[in-house]
Amino acid sequence: MFKAKLKEAVICFGAGRVTLDYPFEPVKVPPKFRGKIEFDPRKCIACGGCANVCPPRCIVIEDMGEVAKLTFHLDRCIQCARCYEVCPEDAIWPTEQFETATPDKNDLKSEMMVWMSSCQRCGRCFEYDNAIDRFPSKRWRGRGPGEANKHGIFPTKPPIAFRPPPLVREEEP
């Protein structure tokens, strides 16, 4: 028994200090890290591909005739990265942000609207190679009324940039 305890003691002393200083020191995430998603309303063509593949229905697209409304419920997001994998326009991408705790659930919801019309070339919006992810969509992004909406976009509720206040270690009294 003492031999075992001696060996265990050697392991413990050899390990040294391994605890990180997070959250007082920020942590750098690796390049492939799947963080909170961000999107660019100027690039989105509202093809609905992201909403079609999203497992938890974090991204919901509503067809409102001339307008398509996209809603992002980031409180549901499971960081699977399917949305930016299928996006044909790179309009959605991951960030390094993982500290998304907030006292108000609505902070995690954002919306945008895109003007739509039928595709003049093929009548189809976008087609995937993979038969499982294919879905019928025959619309194309159109132009909104007036110069003010040059891109046909209404960012009705823009995403909130999460930046938690830096934590400072309290001085020992």
- Interface residue list for another protein (CB under 8 A): 1, 3-5, 7-8, 11-12, 15, 18, 29-30, 32-34, 53-56, 78-82, 85, 129-133
Contact 36, 100 (CB under 8 A): yes
Give the three-state DSSP class for 4: helix
Q: CB 155 → another protein: shortest distance, Å?
A: 27
CB nearer to another protein: pick between 77 and 113: 77
**Shortest distance (Å) from residue 171 CB to another protein:** 29
* Min CB(39)–another protein separation in Å: 19
Instruction: Please report how close the Cβ of residue 33 comes to another protein at its closest, in angstroms.
Output: 6
Which pairing describes strands 67-73 and 92-94: parallel, antiparallel, or unpaired? Answer: unpaired
User: Among residues 101 and 132, whose Cβ is nearest to another protein?
Assistant: 132
Q: Which is nearer to another protein, 11 or 148 (CB)?
A: 11
SS3 category, 107: helix
- Helix ranges (H only) for the chain are 2-15, 49-53, 82-86
> Degrees (nearest 5) of the Cα angle 90, 92, 93?
95
How far is 86 from 111, CA to CA, in rounded Å? 20
Shortest Cβ 3–another protein spacing (Å): 7
Structure letter (DSSP) for residue 65? T
- Nearest CB to another protein, comparing residues 70 and 114: 70
Strand 153-157, strand 37-39: pairing: unpaired
Nearer to another protein, 19 or 120 (CB): 19
